[in-house]
Structure 1
Amino acid sequence: MTVALETAQVPAAKPPRPVTELVRARPRKDVWPATGQSREEVWGRLAAEPFAPACDNNGRKFGLGLLLDWLTDQPGATWQERWLASGADDDGANWREIPLRWMRERGHEVPWRQESFFRAVHPALCADLIRPSLPWLITSSLRSSALVGMLAQHRDPTGFARLRERCATDPSVNTAAATRTAYRAAQILVAKGGIIADIVPGDVLELLDIEAELRGTSVGATHLFYRVLHNLDVFDDRAPATLRELRTGGQRTPEELIDRYGIACRPVRDLLVDYLRERQPALDYNSLDALSYYLAKLFWSDLERHHPGIDSLHLPTNVADAWKQRLRTTTKTVRTPDGRRITTEAPRINYRECLTPVRAFYLDLAHWAVEDPARWAGWVAPCPIGSEEINRKKDKRRRKSRWTPAPASVCQYCRSWSAVSTSDARTPPPCWPPPATRHQARRSPPPGRHWYASPRAGRRPPKCWPRTPSPDTPRSSAGSATRAAEFPWSPPTTTTSAPGCRPHHCCSSDTAATRTGRSARAPSERCSPPRSPTPG
C-alpha cells in the first residue's frame, strides 16, 4: 500500500533588496501627458472648477492667462521645455525677476496683475503642467499652505488625509513638524509627479540631501518624515524602518563601491573590482571605501570624462600630465553676501595623498603579474606617477607653515597685551613700561604682581615649570643648586606671585630668565589682577 504524503509549501523569504536600489530616486521625466497638452486644453482644465472657483474675485483667471502667455513666448514643444528654457528653474530664490521683467516690457506694471500671475503658479503645479526641480521648490519661497491644500484637494485627497491622521495620532509630532512633513511630501509630488503612494525611499533621501546642501544644515523632522511614510506602508516591505538604517545600509561590496561612479569601460571596471577584492582582506572598510574613491572617481572616471573611449592603463605623457594638473584643484561652491551660490576652484590640499593609491595600483599589478601572469600581466603598464611626486616632506613643511601663528608680543595665555603686526613683532606694545623700569622690576618685583618676559617673535614660548605647592614656600635649595650647576652663567632669580594665583608659563623668572637667558619685563597695566586667596 502506497501512502502519498503532501508537504506544505513554505513561501521563500524575499531576498533583501540591494542598497543601491533602495537609495536610487525616481528619474525626472521630460515628457508626460499633461505637459504635452495644447493651450486650449490647459485653459479648459485650469480655468474651470475645481482649479478656478466660479466667482473669480482675485483675478486668478487673468493671472493664469499671463502665465500661459509667458510660457508660450519661451522656446520649446512642451510646457516643461518652455519652463526650463525660461531660466527660472535655475535662478531659485531670484526666479521672480524673470517674469516680472517680461510683464514690465508688456505694460503689466500694476501690482495686482503681477500678484495674480504668481498666484496662478500653484494651480499649474497642482495640475502637473510643469515639474520644477527640487532645488527650485526649496528656495523659491512658495506658499506652502496653498500648495499642500491644492494637492490635497485635487490630486491625492486620500494620501494627504492618511498623512494628517497619522501625524495627529502620534503624540510625539507637534503642529510644526506635521506641517513640514506634509509640505515635503507635496514637494516630491510636484517634482516627480504621481501621488504619495508612489514615493520611494530614494526620493526622500534626495530631498533631504538637497535641503541640507542648500540650507547648510538639516532643517528638522527628517527622521519623522521617513518614519511617517514608512508607517503608512508607502514603501516596499524590504525598506528599512528608520532613516538612519537606510543611510548606512551596511557595508557595500567591491562591485557596489565601483559601480557608484558609473565607469563606462567594462574591462577596467572589472579590473578595479578584482583589485579591491585582493586588497579587501588587509584593509578596513573605510580604507577600502577611500581606495575605491581614489581609483574609480578621481582617477579613471576623470580620464573617461575628458578622454571618451579610453580603455588602457598605458597613458600617454600628455594625458597623464593633464590629469595630474586637473587633480591639483578642486571645485568648491560658496555663497556670496547677496545669497547667490558661485562655483570656484581651490588648490587641493591632499593632492599627493591622491597620487599615492594610483601609484600603488600600478606597482601592485606589476608585482602580482609575476606570481599570476594569466590574470594580471595583460594590465601591466608604466606607472604615470614617479616616486618624487609622492614625496610629502616638502608638502608637510608647507602645510605646517600655513598653521604657524603670526608673531605677537603678547602673553599667549592671559592675552593681556594686543598683538602687533609681523613687521613690528620685535617692538614692545605701547603699554610696556620703559626699559629702565622693566629691569628694576625684574630685580625687585612688587608684591602680589607678575612679571613677564618678552616672547621671541615667531617662536612659541618655553614650557612652564611645575607649580610651586605653596606661594609662601620657596623652591628647594637642591633644585636651585642643580640649576645653578647646569647654568653657571645665569644669575639667581626669584619669582613673586600673589597667593592663589597660578603663574603663567611666561610669567616665571625661572622659565624666562634661567632657561632662555633673556631679559625680563614688567607686567602691563592691562594684565588682570591676581585672584584673591581662598579662605582657609
Structure 2
Amino acid sequence: MTTTTTRAHFAAASDAATGSETGPATPPEHRTGPFDGMAAAAILDTLPQLSTWPSPLTKRSRAKAARWRRGASRILDWLATYPGDGWQQRWLAAGADVSTEWIDTVTNGFGRIEPTRREVTTEGLSALLLKRVLSPSYEFLQNYRSSGLHRYAKQEFGAELFEQVARAGHVRGMVASQLSAAENCLVKISFHTGHHPVDLTAEDLLAYHAWGKDIAGGVPAGLYAAWDLLRDVGVLAERLPLHRTLARGPLSPAAMVDRHNVQCRPVRDLLVRYLNERRPSLDYSSLASLASQLVGAFWADIERHHPVIDTIHLPAEVAEAWKHRVKVISREGKQPVPRENWPSVMATVRSFHLDIAEWALEDPSWAAWAVPSPVRRSDTGGFTKVKKKTQAKMHQRVRERLPRLPDLVEATEQHHADQQRLLACAQATPIGTSFTQTGRQYRRISREEHRARRLLHYRPTMVLTEDVSTGEHFDVTRDEDDAFWAWAIIETLRHTGVRLEELLELTHLALVSYRLPDTDEIVPLLQIVPSKGNEERLLLVGPELASVLATIITRLRGDNDGTVPLVARYDPHELVTGPALPHLFQRRIGWRRTVMSTNMVYQLLNDTLARAALTNQTGQPLRYTPHDFRRVFATEAVTGGLPAHIAAWLLGHASITTTETYLAVFQEDLIRSYRAFLDKRRGVRLAEEYREPTDEEWREFQQHFHARKLELGDCARPYRTPCQHEHSCLRCPMLRVSPRQRGRLIEIIHNLTDRIAEARINGWLGEVQGLQTSLTKAQEKLASLDRSIARGRSAGGPGNLGMPIITG
C-alpha cells in the first residue's frame, strides 16, 4: 500500500468516526445488527444458538443458561421503555452507549421488575453483544471492563484465529500482557464494527486509532500489536506497521504554503507556482526549508503587519521594516530571540525576485511579477560574516573535542563492559537472590516487583535488578542494550565520518569486499548511500571498523535465528518510508524492530557523555553531536597526511572548499598547494579522467595493496597518494598494527623509553621532544590494538561480515 492510499484510508476512517465538518457522520449500516427489528421473545429464543451458550447437560449449566436468558430479558424490557424503530436506536436513546451506570439501574429493578444480582445483568448483556443484537460504541467498551465477555468473544468469533494470533505473538516475542491487550483490542473492534475478526480491514483499525487520539486522548492499548498480529496471520495485507502507516507523508508545495494561511490569493498562487518550479532541483527537506523562509519568514510576516498589501512590489518603508523584523524571532507570550540565519532569509527573498525576473525573459506569464527586489546586494553582505563566525565556532568545537575523544571512547567501552558483566551475573542468579558486582550488591527481581508501570523494552528474556543499598530498580537488559548501541554509534561515526542520516541508512548490503587475484587478500569496503549531494561513495574498512561492524552483525543475527532482520526505515527528512532492508542500526523495542531515530541517537550520546563527565578547559561540560565526529574524522585524516581532495571524496563533498571548513588545524600553504595540484591535474588530465583503465594501470592498482605491507602491519593510505610522513610509520595514523606484531610494538615502546632516558641524561632536549612524540603515538596504537583484541575475545572470536566478494 502506498503512503497516499494509506493516508486516504486514514482520513476516511477518521471522518466515519468523528464526523465531517458539516455535521455528524451518518452511522454506517453495519452498526445495526441482523436482529434489530425482531421481537424480544424471538431474540431470546435465538440466544441458545451461541457456541458459548451454557450446555443443558448439567444442572449447573442449565442454571447458568437461565441466568443469561433472564439478564437478557431484563435488558430488552428496559430498552423497550425508550423510543426507537429498533433495538439499536433504543440503546442510543437510553444513553447506554456512553456509560455503564444503567447496569445498576437494571440490576436494582425498574418499574415492576424485582431487583436481581449484577452478575445476571452482565451475563445477559454479554449474550446480547455476542449475538450482535446491539453494537456498542468504543466509549462503552472502554468503560465496560469484563474479562468474561472477552473470553466468550474469543470462543464465539473463532478460537482458531486467536490461536494463530497467539502463535504469531510468541514468534514476535510478546509477553502475556501484550498479547492479551492485542486480543482484547481485536474483540472491541469486532463488537463495534460488527465485523468478524477475520474480516477486519485496515480502515477499521485506523478508525479505532482516530477515536483514541481524538476522544480518549491516546492510542488505545494493544492497537499497534493487534495491527502487527493481523499482518502476521494474513488478515491485513498492509506492508508497514501501524506507526509507519500513520507517519506523515511529504506535503505538496500548495500544502506548504497553505500552512502559513496566506490571505492574498494571487500571491499565494505565485508562491505555489514558484515552489513547483524549484521542486525538481531540490530534495524535500530543502524545498520545505525554502517554503519556510519564503512564505513563513517573509510573506506571512508582511501580511501580518501590512494586511492590505497584495503585491510583492513592496514600498520602501515596508521593506525596511521587514528587514529589521527578520533579524529576530518573535513568538506570542515570549521574549524575542535573535534569528541566526537572517542572512539566509534575505538571500532567499533576493533569489526569489531574481529568479522571477530571469524566467520572465523566456516566459511572459512571469512578467507581471518581475519587480525590484526589496533586498539589495548590500543587505546580504552579512552572510559572509555569519559564515565565518559559524566556521570559527565549528573549529573551536573540534579543538576542544579532538583531545578528549580517547577519553570518551574509553568511558564508553568501559561502561559497556560493566553492563555486560552485570547482565551475565544477573542472568545466572535466580529471582529473589542477591549477588555482588563491581562492589555493589544487587537483588534480581521479577516484573511484578518492578516499579515502572510500563516497560518499553518488554521481552521474554528481560532481566530486572534492585540495588540493595539504594532500592533503585534497573532494567539490566535495556541498560546493556543502550550501552552497546552507544558504543557502536560512537565507534562507527569516528571511524567513517559519515553523516547521521547516512549512519542510520547503513545496511548489511552496504558491506562488500574486493578480493585481490594474486594473494586472495580480501579488502572490505563500505558503500555509503548518499544523503546529501547524491554522491555515492565507497570507504575502505579498517580492522577496527571491521571489528565494530562484525560485532553489530553478530548481535543482530543472534537475536533473529542467524539472519539480520529486515526493517523498513522512515526518513524524517523526505517523510517517506523505505523498503524493508537489513539495517545495521536497528533495535528491538518490545515486540517490534525499528531503525533508530535521530532522537534515539542523540539520547544515547547524551547519556554516554553524562557518564563520562568530560569538560573543556573552562570546566564546562563537553557535548558531542554526530556531526562533531565527522569534523574530527576530517581533521585527523588530513593532519595525519591524507590529501585534502581524498578527504573530500571520503566525506562526500562536491568541493574541496567545503572540506576545508571542516578542518580545525590546517596550514594555509598546504591548502594552496593542494589547490594548485588539483588545478594542474584538471588542466593536464581532463580528457583522460573517465576513460577505461589500461592493463598496466590495473596491475598498478593491484600492486598498491601489496606495497602497503609493513613490519608492524598494513598502511591504509589511499591509492596513488604518496607517503606524507617519509615512512615514519609509527607516527602515521594510516598504520594499522597487526595483532601478531603486538610483542614487537611493546619492544619499540621499551626502546623509546630507554632512549628518552638517555637523551635526558645527556641534555638532548630536541631529541627528547621527538622521541616523546613517537612514544605517545606508539602507546596510542598499543591501546587501540588491545581494545580490538579484547573486543574480538568478548565476541567469541572474529565475526563474519557476510560481504559479497568482487573478484579480480
Instruction: From the two aligned structures, give the one with the greater helix fraction.
Output: 2
Same fold at TM > 0.5: no
Q: What TM-score does the superposition give when structure 1 sets the normalisation length?
A: 0.44
Q: What TM-score does the superposition give when structure 2 sets the normalisation length?
A: 0.31
